[in-house]
Chain A
Amino acid sequence: MAPDGILVVGYGSELRGDDAAGPAAARRLAEYGFSALDVHQLTPEIAERSAQARVVFFLDADAGLAPGEVSRERIDGGASAPTLGHYATPAGLLQMARVAYGTAPEAWLIRMGCDRFEIGDGLSAEADRAVSRAVEEVLAYTHRDPCGRGSETQPADTEP
């Protein structure tokens, strides 16, 4: 975990087109020095990692947003958070962090509008634009220098 206590978690399938927007955003943010996880899907282990963070940004492709658009919403992981079954959600992981580790970070879900999820690698132009906007969103919120790319590069972890 970087000293600022900020963790970014980008998730999605690298083999389903724009679904890779989350991992792509995590890798780009790692170039700015963020502690970053670049994962296929959310798993319970991320709750442990989240419990050690001060702020967590979850980054995910979303077919419900206009392609290229980005939204940021607060996640609280309260009592109504969905439970963890065979797939985990950011809110479920936060709740898990709270009950199992006694603490949960401030957390945000950044959704990136995408519309091409066919089998294949590579992002569409719209998804790439959404990734850039998501990166800008995180940089602005955390007051990071948008020109600081590469100054503190650290590779994104592929697993928690």
Chain B
Amino acid sequence: MRKIAIDPVTRIEGHARITIHVNDDGNVERTQFHVTQVRGFEKFTEGRPFYEMPAITARICGICPISHLLASAKACDAIMAVRIPPTAAMLREAIHCGQLVQSHALSFFHLSAPDLLLGMDSDPAKRNVLGLAEKHPDVVRDGIALRKFGQNVIERLAGERIHPPGIVPGGVATPLASASRDAILKGLPEARAIAWRTLDFFKTVLDGFRPEIAAFGDMPTMYAGLVGNAGELRLYDGRIRFKTAAGATAAEIDPAEYAAYIGEASLSDSYLKAPYFKPLGYPAGIYRVGPLARLNVADCCGTPEADKELGEFRERFGRMVSSSFHFHYARLIEAIHCLERLQQLLENPAILDRHVRARAEVNAAEGIGVAEAPRGILIHHYKVDENGAIRWANLIIATGHNNLAINRSIEQVSKYFVKANRLEEGMLNRVSAVVRAYDPCLSCSTHAGGIVPMRIALVGPRGELLDEVSSGA
């Protein structure tokens, strides 16, 4: 058997390596996705006061720090055994909407649009955001403007764009000023227009990706995501719903019960653990999270424009959409939903209430906080001593949930596109692109940091390295 390695994988968050084993006939036998970094936040936070956890764990990531702030603050709320003021919950959700918009914009426009709008086989020297700007400057301007809008929302509501101090145990640090609310509302129409025209534009190019839609992780798996009482898409809170590939609800649980339903397998060739649905065991309990999974498990989005788009999405691809290529489509529908939801929250007069924080000492020895990060369910679980010092922490990150699915997607796309003993750029780009479809944040999932390199290596039946390509280092 021979082996191809893609190392580093580019245009993702963090470091990864892909190994593709091929047999003497040049056909792919198996693949492996290795995450090659580790940071260990769960360990070095032991002994810290619980109320420091939001600020510490937010440093796991510069893209989705808000998700860590929210999940961590919710775990702290549970340790204090407080119910935060309703306005604080609204403000947290509004901040979260801003983050999802900026993160989805980054993923779609800056990381994946070069593949999607220039083509998987286009000149690799130009298949980047600059090449995109040459061909579609309006799309790039839209991407910058939409991400900037999301960042502005975070800055105005939480204090800073990257690691804001505004989300704290018990609620948020400060009430919202009407001037900030009005400024965000003023920018919403343009942001919504961008999201709409981007989705409309994306729909026009979809038919050009039929092979990728068929081979980019189009497989039966379970799905998991948060839903509200009416089964609607929820991003800040809700119950975790697991659905089977066929669409049946396998479980719908309080997030505090996660440990009974989610197991974590350790892999010998990767620092990234592989969560699975415990009742089915490992690896049969493979499930996907993130935008596509959320739309699959939810009955509806709960906002009118997004629901209209969701209806068209389901009409076109079915009630349970199985190709991971459609993470991109789902991301754009979610962006529309977040902008609608943001408007609903900001137009509620209660958003300006001054009571935004509950205060308490340690009242529980354990706390679990869950939110939907841009890439999927994020779980923070802490145990503290009587003084509130962290005794134990467990973080399950969105990208981790998708680990098994990413591995299988790589195998599927490799078997479809890699047909030789020598690496060709177009085939390798597709292998990388299927990873990018999940928008993985490896810095988060191993709690590790760094730039984004990826290597692909081709190894023969006796373990000999036949070819190797590196990029992004």
Contacts and interface: CB of A to CB of B under 8 A. Distances in A.
Interface residues of B, number: 26
B128 A100 contact: no
A100 B472 contact: no
Interface of B: 10-11, 13, 110, 128-131, 133-134, 137, 140-141, 143-145, 147-148, 151, 155, 160-162, 451-452, 472
A137 B222 CA distance: 61
Given A85-B452, A86-B452, A96-B133, 16 more contacts: A44-B144, A47-B144, A48-B141, A48-B145, A83-B129, A83-B130, A84-B110, A85-B128, A85-B451, A96-B140, A99-B137, A100-B137, A101-B137, A101-B141, A159-B151, A160-B148
Nearest to B134: A99
A84 B130 contact: yes
A73 interface: no
Interface in A129-160: 158-160
A47 B130 CA distance: 11
A37 B159 CA distance: 17
A35 interface: no
19 contacts: A81-B130, A83-B129, A83-B130, A84-B128, A85-B10, A85-B452, A86-B451, A86-B452, A95-B130, A96-B129, A96-B130, A96-B133, A99-B130, A99-B133, A100-B137, A100-B141, A100-B144, A101-B141, A159-B161
A40 B162 contact: yes
Given A44-B129, A159-B155, A85 B144 contact: no
A100 B140 contact: yes
B110 A44 contact: yes
Contact of B130 (A92, A158, A159): A92
A83 B132 CA distance: 11
Contacts of A102: 137
Contacts of B451: 85-87
A45 interface: yes
A102 B13 CA distance: 30
Nearest to A41: B62
Contacts of B472: 85-86
A112 to B, nearest CB: 22
A84 B10 CA distance: 12
Contacts of A158: 160-161
Nearest to B148: A45
A137 to B, nearest CB: 29
Which of A40, A44, A158 gathers most chain B CB within 10 Å?
A44
A107 to B, nearest CB: 16
Contacts of A95: 130
A85 B13 CA distance: 11
Given A84-B110, A100-B137, A159-B151, A48 B144 contact: yes
Contacts of A100: 133, 137, 140-141, 144
Contacts of A87: 451
Contacts of B144: 44-45, 47-48, 100
Nearest to A98: B133
A55 to B, nearest CB: 21
A76 B161 CA distance: 29
A45 B110 contact: no
